[in-house]
Amino acid sequence: MSKTPSSISALIDEWETIGEFAIDVGCGYEAARQMRLRESISPRHWDGVIAAADRKKIKGVDWQWLASRHTSTRKAVSA
């Protein structure tokens, strides 16, 4: 991939299936499905997501990218 994903769902769509994403990240299928639905990834999964994105050569997925999406989602939910 040549550019940074625009959203959590765009990131997850880089895998063939949500199940493959879950395996690469090291979480359960339902957790991965909820990440996609909520457009947010729990900080406890960030290390796995960053490592999986790096293995797939997906640029720009780091702590800052994940935090910015987590923060904007949290504000939207609490507003």
In a domain, 29, yes or no: yes
C-alpha 31/C-alpha 42 separation (Å) is: 9
Per-residue pLDDT of the chain (79 residues), as tens digits, is 458 999 999 999 999 999 999 999 999 999 999 999 999 999 999 999 999 999 999 999 999 999 998 865 554 444 4
User: How many CB atoms within 10 Å of residue 3?
Assistant: 9
In a domain, 3, yes or no: no
Q: Which domain holds residue 72?
A: 8-78
Number of domains in the chain: 1
Both tokens of 5, joined, read: 């994903």
